[in-house]
């Protein structure tokens, strides 16, 4: 499956899915029809994860055609990403601990067999191949994959999350990390997701039968507790003449860009990333950025070394808030190292929505209509 990389293509794909397949989404969404047929899902996540289009834009487009009750499940699935971002913002130590944990694991033969698709589990091996070739997996398959990784192959969830981030076009610090924690039983304490052979068989249309899995397992435990960390930063007066944008927050349509003398769009290289990305993923991000540059002519595309040169002269920047993850960690390092000042710009939609991420998704889900109404999305 190939992704054409432009905002125009993303909007076209959204409209096509809304007009043709969305009405069947709630009935067909859990089926993985194989790498060559993803017609039952929208496949918009590679765009949404970079905010080339936003969750709120998707909701508005969908709700312009259908009443909320008819597409409630799809809207809820789209808003999982907003919820995960807010949840991690309120508990940033989870990301720090995840990165630190990775330093303590050895990549043994069992791990190497898993990442090379050389296990005794046919479906898992096929999914490894699909992930590497297409840089995408169906969401239901990601759950099966993570469960097999953790509970049948007995591998650390952290290494699985790292593996996904390396290859997924839609890899996102919050959604990826927290989804793996959820499967393991850490996100909702004591509640884990265990892949079962009958379920895999049913939702792959019997492509994989009698999969030999460990289905009688206890959730992973972790004594670490994470208290809520209030989101305190407030958008300043946006008086800077210099703006920083990262590749995971590309939504520029409603921003006042004319006031900026310089707009720096940064794509970090693997040299400064904690989680190394496959070259195809870096190339995908580069093409996303190039599409934005075509539409917003004054953007300068730079890497971390060029940014360091910029900070020899400029010490204060507006920044479209990149959320907890690689880009925010990079900014924190640069702020201390180069004595920089950042004024973070957060969208009003995210600011409002994240207040409902203080508890589980059930609470967030119940507040989705309130979010939609607050921003006239339905």
Q: What confidence score (pLDDT) does residue 240 get?
A: 87
pLDDT digits (tens, 9 = 90+) for 97-117: 999 999 999 999 999 999 999
| Residue 7: inside a domain | yes
Interval 278-289 mean pLDDT: 96
Residue 308's nearest CA partner among 283, 280, 271, 260 is 271
pLDDT at residue 1 tops 60: no
Q: What confidence score (pLDDT) does residue 237 get?
A: 59
Where residue 350 falls among pLDDT bands split at 50, 70, 90?
very high
In this prediction the pTM is 0.96
Where residue 4 falls among pLDDT bands split at 50, 70, 90?
low
Burial of 224 (0-12, 13-18, 19+ CB in 10 A): exposed
How many domains, the chain? 3
Least confidently predicted of 86-95, 126-135, 223-232, 280-289: 223-232
Q: Please, which residues have CB within 8 angstroms of residue 316's CB and are 6 or more apart in sequence?
A: 240, 242, 340, 341, 342, 343
- Rounded to a whole number of angstroms, the distance between the first and last alpha carbons of the chain is 32
Q: What confidence score (pLDDT) does residue 23 get?
A: 94
pLDDT digits (tens, 9 = 90+) for 38-50: 999 999 999 999 9
User: Are 353 and 340 contained in the same domain?
Assistant: no
User: Are 160 and 123 contained in the same domain?
Assistant: yes
State the CATH number of the domain containing residue 327: 3.40.50.620
Q: What confidence score (pLDDT) does residue 55 get?
A: 98
pLDDT at residue 90 tops 80: yes
Q: What confidence score (pLDDT) does residue 338 get?
A: 96
Nearest-Å Rg of the Cα atoms of the chain is 21
Distance CA 347, CA 362 (A): 23
User: Are 49 and 124 contained in the same domain?
Assistant: no
Q: What confidence score (pLDDT) does residue 96 get?
A: 97
Q: For residue 158, how far is the Cα from the chain centroid? A: 16
Range of the domain at 153: 105-203
Looking at the DSSP assignment, which residues form a beta bridge with residue 244?
A: 264, 319
Q: Please, which residues have CB within 8 angstroms of residue 80's CB and are 6 or more apart in sequence?
A: 175, 361
pLDDT at residue 234 tops 70: no
User: Are 65 and 11 contained in the same domain?
Assistant: yes
Q: What confidence score (pLDDT) does residue 235 get?
A: 63
Locate tokens 């040299």: which residue? 271
User: Are 292 and 363 contained in the same domain?
Assistant: no
| Residue 82: inside a domain | yes
pLDDT at residue 22 tops 80: yes
- Residue 87: phi, psi to the nearest 5? -60, -45
Q: Which token pair is 184?
A: 């393991």
Neighbours of 178 (CB within 10 A): 24
User: Are 117 and 195 contained in the same domain?
Assistant: yes
pLDDT at residue 238 tops 70: no
Distance CA 357, CA 367 (A): 10
DSSP string, 30-41: T----TT--TTS
Contact between residue 152 and residue 215 where contact means Cβ atoms under 8 Å apart: no
Least confidently predicted of 9-18, 92-101, 168-177, 226-235: 226-235
User: Are 368 and 291 contained in the same domain?
Assistant: no
User: Are 340 and 353 contained in the same domain?
Assistant: no
């Amino acid at each position: 499956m190939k992704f054409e990389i432009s905002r125009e293509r993303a909007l076209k794909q959204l409209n096509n899915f809304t007009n043709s397949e969305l009405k069947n989404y709630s009935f067909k969404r859990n089926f993985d029809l194989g790498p060559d047929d993803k017609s039952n899902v929208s496949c918009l996540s590679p765009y949404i994860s970079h905010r080339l289009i936003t969750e709120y834009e998707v909701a508005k487009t969908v709700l312009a055609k259908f009443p909320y009750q008819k597409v409630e499940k799809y809207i809820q699935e789209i808003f999982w990403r907003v919820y995960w971002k807010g949840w991690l913002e309120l508990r940033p130590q989870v990301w720090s601990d995840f990165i630190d944990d990775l330093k303590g694991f050895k990549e043994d033969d069992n791990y190497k067999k898993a990442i090379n698709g050389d296990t005794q589990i046919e479906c898992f091996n096929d999914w490894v191949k699909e992930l590497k070739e297409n840089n995408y997996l169906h969401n239901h398959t990601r759950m099966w994959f993570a469960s097999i990784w953790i509970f049948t192959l007995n591998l650390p969830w952290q290494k699985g999350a790292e593996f996904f981030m390396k290859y997924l076009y839609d890899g996102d610090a919050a959604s990826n990390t927290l989804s793996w924690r959820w499967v393991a039983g850490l996100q909702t304490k004591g509640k884990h997701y265990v892949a079962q052979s009958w379920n895999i068989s049913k939702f792959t249309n019997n492509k994989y039968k009698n999969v030999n899995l460990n289905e009688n397992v206890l959730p992973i435990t972790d004594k670490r507790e994470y208290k809520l960390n209030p989101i305190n930063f407030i958008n300043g007066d946006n008086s800077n003449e210099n703006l920083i944008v990262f590749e995971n927050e590309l939504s520029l349509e409603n921003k006042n860009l004319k006031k900026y003398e310089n707009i720096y769009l940064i794509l970090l290289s693997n040299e400064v990333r904690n989680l190394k990305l496959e070259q195809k993923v870096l190339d995908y991000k580069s093409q996303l950025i190039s599409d934005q540059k075509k539409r917003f002519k004054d953007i300068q595309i730079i890497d971390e070394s060029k940014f360091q040169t910029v900070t020899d002269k400029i010490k204060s920047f507006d920044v479209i808030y990149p959320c907890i993850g690689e880009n925010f960690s990079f900014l924190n390092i640069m702020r201390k190292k180069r004595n920089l000042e950042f004024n973070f710009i957060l969208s009003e939609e995210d600011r409002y929505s994240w207040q409902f991420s203080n508890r589980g998704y059930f609470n967030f889900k119940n507040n989705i209509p309130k979010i939609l109404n607050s921003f006239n999305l339905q």
